[in-house]
Amino acid sequence: MKNWILDEERRTVLFVVVSGLSLIVSFFNLFGREFPVDPAWAAILLCGIPIIKGAIEGLITEFDIKADVLVAIALIAAVFIGETFAAGEVAFIMVIGALLEERTVSKARAGIEKLVQLTPRTARIVQNTGETIIPAEQVQVGDILRVLAGETIAVDGVIINGQTSINQAVMTGESLPVDKGIGDEVSSGTVNQYGTFDMRATKVGEDSSLQRMIKLVESADASKAKIVGIADRWATWIVVIALSSAFITWLVTGEIIRSVTILVVFCPCALVLATPTAIMAGIGNATKYGILIREGDALERLAKVTHIAFDKTGTLTYGKPAVAAVESFDPNIAAGTVLSLVASAELRSEHPLGKAIITHYKSVSKEALQEPQSFTMLPGRGVQATVENNVILTGNEELLSEYSIAPPQELMNKAQEYKNAGSTIMYVAVNNNATGFIALSDTLRADAVDVISGIQAIGVKSVLLTGDNSQAASHIGQAVGISNIHSNCLPENKMSIIEQYQNKDEMVCMVGDGVNDAPALKKAHVGVAMGGIGSDIAVDAADIALIGDEIKCIPHLLRLSKKTMKTIKLNLTLSMLLNFVAIILAMTGILNPVLGALVHNIGSVVVIVNSALLSNWR
């Protein structure tokens, strides 16, 4: 019981339950005359006093007229003339509406804290006396740092010694590791996958890439204004019209009870329920399709979207390298043999490209791979292995140059075609002869084309934002049917592009999966994250998460948002019509406060039933 009292949400639920029971007892007079006070007072005290307190605080501290101002006036007036049940009933309905609204608003999330946790706490500094581990925040510009395999880079810098492959997914979203050597820049938060290298620090502390991204997420979140509830948006007019109508009726008829009835039926109960009930039903509908809506007003915002911006890697593609082609330029060695030799050579490799080649081989051949007789990992270049007494070299162009192997021009021309399509090339040399290559690329999602066409059919335009080069971006864009393409995008670039659209009053929905997408997801009018393969930070930054990573549900999500808004508008129309009729009846004296509250709350029931129909909408 103590936990229920101390927890605000639980306490509100407890008060609503007690208030509901007290109103039932009061209405049916279950205790007869034995009870010293009307049980409806429980609803007034538990539900009404917080409303009156909030209305007074809003008026005094912010001079802000909200819907609860009229409710507070109606409650006090009803109590003043002895209509206790009417006062308790109105307070009860308003608190239920507020509770539903709160449940659709997400709680504070830990996305920024998770970004902070990515920042390495220590760095290995190289001095004349040897290596020393120091706190990362103590690194100064110009310091020489040593980064071992598997370590996260603490600050931005330039490699001065060594070669490696860097996983840059955190910053650029690229699915494949990037080879780095002397003179290449590396960023904080990225991961050194192979080998050891030394680097000179160039940007430290708040100037580093990861810290700049944290600032971007914070600033984007702060700049996104929350949508004000419709009842509060119209509150000033509702209050003025209600008070004017009540006062004029009192002057004309001289009956205060009619004025109080007008205030009771004017209370915006149905208006308060119109939006949250529809949104909750929409959220329930979305859940059936593996869509988790994390922000209460996300559907409302999504209905206004004119553009959907997609990240490439992990969103339109699966985010994993796969063999696209195996080419042989040696008449004595078939393409299948090239694949077999390279797969055997990569058996002991931990590189993602090597694993992708082995996976591909196993999917096309049932023959067991030969264990390499020797194996050497060459960080930043590839591997060297001996398979069936053949010396196999497989890696990038630098590897072939190092061994003075000159590939024929025909091979290079063919490789360039695959590069233009966004593939990564693994050149293959057998016994120091350039034999062919294996092209690997990220695999396009099977339903990506249908999703883009479905979105365009709704009247929403698609945009591609990716950290990949222009050739890879263009290839994917053409494949799925997106013509508006932005390539080589860092996190701040994605964010600024979205801001440019929004400055033109074109609302953008961002769909992404990686840490590098977090600022854009926050900045966008609506952020949609891939919840399965996507990073926790991307999900925390987003308003909506696709639990099963199924982008095929996005067209349904767009249509659902528009249907939800139509439901909300219909709710408002029905409730206002009923209110108008009730006001006329109250002015003529046909309704008293209790009947007025009951008739008025029929509007709330209509709203709830209409919203519930949205749950099973297809």
- Residues with a catalytic annotation lie at 311
DSSP string, 171-206: HH--SS-EEE-TT-EE-TT-EE-SS-EEEEEEE-GG
Distance CA 477, CA 481 (A): 6
Reduced to 3 states (helix: H, G, I; strand: E, B; else coil), residue 506 is: coil
- Helix, strand, coil shares, percent, the chain, to 5: 55, 20, 30
Would you say the C-alpha torsion 226, 230, 231, 233 has a positive or negative sign? positive
Query: Which residues, 6 or more positions from 364, have their beta carbon under 8 angstroms from its beta carbon?
Result: 339
Whole-angstrom distance, CA of residue 39 vs CA of residue 436: 87
| 347: DSSP letter | T
What is the SS3 assignment for 159?
Answer: strand
- What is the DSSP secondary structure assignment for residue 314, as one 8-state letter? I
* Six-digit token string for 167: 């996983």
CA-CA distance, 464 to 312, in Å (whole number)?
7
Q: Where are the alpha helices (DSSP H) in 81-119?
A: 84-103, 111-118
Q: How many CB atoms lie within 10 A of CB 613?
A: 11
Angle 160-165-171 from CA coordinates, rounded to 5°? 95
Q: Which SS3 state, helix, strand or coil, does residue 285 take?
A: helix
User: What is the distance between the alpha carbons of residues 325 and 422, in angstroms, rounded to a whole number?
Assistant: 13
Residues 263 and 235: beta-carbon distance below 8 Å: no
Judged by DSSP in three states, 11 sits in: helix
Query: What whole-number distance in Å separates Cα of residue 408 and Cα of residue 435?
Result: 9
CB atoms within 10 A of CB 99: 15
Question: Which 8-state DSSP code applies to residue 81?
Answer: T
Task: Give the whole-angstrom CA distance, residue 284 versus residue 105.
Answer: 14
Listed residue (480, 473, 475, 479) closest to 455, CA to CA: 480
Strands (DSSP E) contained in 204-264 are: none
For residue 489, what is the DSSP state?
A: -
